[in-house]
Amino acid sequence: MSLRIVVTVKYVPDATGDRHFADDLTVDRDDVDGLLSELDEYAVEQALQIADNADDAEVTVLTVGPEDAKDALRKALSMGADRAIHVEDDDLHGTDAIGTSLVLAKAVEKAGFDLVISGMASTDGTMGVVPALVAERLGVPQVTLLSEVSVEDGTVKGRRDGDAASEQLEAALPAVVSVTDQSGEARYPSFKGIMAAKKKPVQSWDLSDLDLDAGEVGLAGAWTAVDSAAQRPARTAGTIVKDEGEGGKQLAEYLASQKFI
């Protein structure tokens, strides 16, 4: 029986662009270029490695987002994923992590899965809670923040590295895992992979396909909200310490005044 791997990925604003909030205090995604979240590339890579070592496996990439989010799916398909699912609906605008986990869980169930792999966090929200929320909604074990992951005999195994120690973890499939940026460098799409991606299937679902009501997602259904936002203050000129014999002392005093030492 084929091992069904679903990788959840996110289309995020380019961190090098001029990011800001829209009038409704959601992230303005129209005025900045987007791309596949770098941390999700590691999840795609681990899924592909697991599939390469399996007798029979299929890798599906899943995203929730606007029309442009298809670009994230195309990147993952060009890396080697087999098919993609795009959940798009105007009522999803403003959905928070709780709502996103609901949509993802419904989509994962509809797609069918043995293993769900996510990045450790998105590079825009950086909350890192969605994998655990998805696992809870699916009612399956979660093994998160892995720097090494493998699947063998119906069990997913991995290593989680902490500041002082490493843990060896495992869970019976079906399960949800998340991987860190230490799990292995993500492959770069080849020209052949880019061309092949154009022929791979991309399904499009909306809320009705997932039996979800608009009131459960979007700004109306969000459990969290941004109350206010302000532009970050412009950077000021740094403090220059001239060394005329007392430079080291002045530097130490400045660092102490800023509570750096």
> Which DSSP string do the residues of 193-257 spell out, in sequence order?
HHHHHTTS-EEEE-GGGGT--GGGSHHHH-S-------PPPPPPPPPP---SS-HHHHHHHHHHH
Instruction: Tell me the pLDDT band of 116, cut-offs 50, 70 and 90.
Output: very high
Tokens 């000021």 locate to 236
Tens digits of residue pLDDT in 214-255: 999 988 888 988 888 887 788 887 777 777 777 888 888 888
Phi, then psi, of 180 in degrees rounded to 5: -95, 180
Lowest mean pLDDT among 10-24, 28-42, 48-62: 10-24
Is pLDDT above 80 for 81?
yes
Query: Nearest 5 degrees, angle CA 185-CA 187-CA 193?
Result: 170
Cα separation, 200 vs 74, in Å, equals 9
Tens digits of residue pLDDT in 20-32: 677 776 776 666 7
> Strand, coil or helix: what is 6?
strand
How is residue 149 written in tokens?
């992951």
Higher pLDDT, 123 or 110: 110
Cα separation, 232 vs 157, in Å, equals 43
pTM metric for this prediction: 0.85
Tens digits of residue pLDDT in 144-196: 999 999 999 999 999 999 989 999 999 999 999 999 999 999 999 999 999 99
